[in-house]
Chain A
Amino acid sequence: MTDAEYVNRVLAGDVDAFTTLVDRYYERCARFAVRMLGNRDDAEDALQATFVRAYRALDRYQDRDKFSAWLYRILVNQCRSLAARRSHRERVFVREEAALMNAPDLGANEGQLAGEGEEWVQRVLTELDPLLREAFLLKHVEELSYDEMSALTGASVSALKMRVKRACDRLRDRWEQIKDA
């Protein structure tokens, strides 16, 4: 069944159908939220708020939109709101050079990269400006097209391309900086 068909079932009173939609997108949304927000607690809050808002607004969802894109739009907004609120109370960006100095060998085999590598990447991502991080994740991790990103974020394609390029440059520079240290 398509997403739109499940949406129609939910709107017809079958609440369980929404669980199927949650199941379908939970992992991708969780990954984006954690990568974007840098910690699991905030990511969980964003995720919960996203699905609740989606459920609440489902009767306003239009079939002409892809459900996934519509859901992502809510998620991105939730992550932005949460990050903005959080920035008032704390800075969670990791600045510990010691931790970053222990960056893994990106040329190592996949097994070695699984644990510490992922943690290091999360930290470096968190160092990026939020808009750059968001663009990088949507483009290269969630594999959206620039047109989809533009519809989702409201930013122009050229602005998004610039953000992605700057994010890539900074990630590469950060890696070179650590490697040369």
Chain B
Amino acid sequence: MPEHDDHEVLDPTLAAIVTMARRPVALGDAARARIELAIQAEAASGRPGRRHGWAWALEPRALRLSPLGAMAMAAGLVGIGIAMGLVGQARTLLVPRTATSAAITPSTVAPTLGAADPATSAVGGSTPSGVPVVSAGNRAQVKFVLFAPGASQVTVVGDFNRWSPTAHPMQRTQTGGTWTITVPLGAGRHEYSFVVDGKHWMPDPAAPLAADDGFGVANSVLLVSGSTS
């Protein structure tokens, strides 16, 4: 039976309620990543003490996040511009949930290849062009990730599967709103997009490169390097 410093002893009913209320609450990696983004934006504005300036944002750094958090952060870069635009104001900025909840992470490579995670490197600024260049041999295992909790079906389409909405259905992860698929891709430039619920085509909002598909709709672009890292 819980007892507290002011000598209050709880009866069994209240003790049970307190026990349940004390259970940890998981807001998810995306929420944690958005806080990180907001702090980065704040730091980029020079606070506290106005010592850091833009140099901090441009400086490569390691971010201690889980893989999902890192990817969500990369997706959240869509919102960081908004955030940075707000930091000079007196109000508290919020990195919008839509910045990641509807966003897709940039492609990432299988860690066995030893290549840098573009999600992390893009944040750190260590990828000069910001383009997710995947170092691999003949074919790279490229993992596409979409955070779309409201979707019932998601597929990735691209020139690598002749834009077939049925060729590469993505799998919902156990964490809920995240969809993933790993696709082997040859070296070169690939255009891709996502199809949500079989009808909504959407480019990767976090992808640093986009290309007009010739019909006025932008596709996302992924570059796969032919060199082995």
Name the residue on B nearest A34 (C-beta): B25
Known: A15-B56, A52-B42. A59 touches B48 (CB 8 A): yes
A-B contact count (CB 8 A): 134
Inter-chain contacts of A51 with B (CB < 8 A): 35, 38-39
Inter-chain contact B39/A18, CB cutoff 8 Å: yes
In the complex, 29 of the A-B residue pairs with CB atoms within 8 angstroms, ordered by the A residue number, are A11-B49, A15-B39, A18-B39, A19-B63, A22-B39, A27-B24, A30-B27, A31-B22, A31-B23, A44-B34, A48-B31, A48-B38, A48-B94, A49-B92, A51-B38, A52-B38, A52-B39, A55-B42, A56-B42, A113-B19, A113-B20, A118-B20, A121-B21, A140-B18, A140-B21, A141-B21, A143-B4, A146-B6, A172-B13
How many Å lie between the Cα of A53 and that of B47 in the bound state? 11
A residues sitting closer than 8 Å to B (CB atoms) are: 10-11, 13, 15-16, 18-19, 22-23, 26-27, 30-31, 34-35, 40-41, 43-45, 47-49, 51-53, 55-59, 106-107, 113-114, 117-118, 121-122, 124-125, 137, 139-141, 143, 145-146, 161, 164, 168, 171-172, 175
Judged by a CB distance under 8 angstroms, whether B64 is at the interface is yes
Q: How far is the CA of A16 from the CA of B59 in the complex (A)?
A: 12
| Separation of A168 and B27 alpha carbons in the complex (Å) | 27
Provide the residues of chain B in CB contact with A52, threshold 8 Å.
35, 38-39, 42, 92-93
The count of chain B contact residues (Cβ–Cβ below 8 Å) is 46
Q: For window 24-38 of chain B, which residues contact chain A by CB distance below 8 Å?
A: 24-27, 31-32, 34-36, 38
Are A44 and B39 CB-contacts (below 8 A) given A49-B94, A140-B4, A145-B5? no
CB-based contact A48/B24 at 8 Å: no
Chain A CB within 8 A of B109 CB: no
- Looking at the assembled complex, report how far the CB atom of A6 sits from the nearest CB atom of chain B, in whole angstroms: 13
Known A-B contacts A15-B56, A141-B21; the reply to A57 vs B48 at CB < 8 A is yes
Q: Given the complex of chains A and B, what is the CA–CA distance between A55 and B36 in angstroms? A: 11
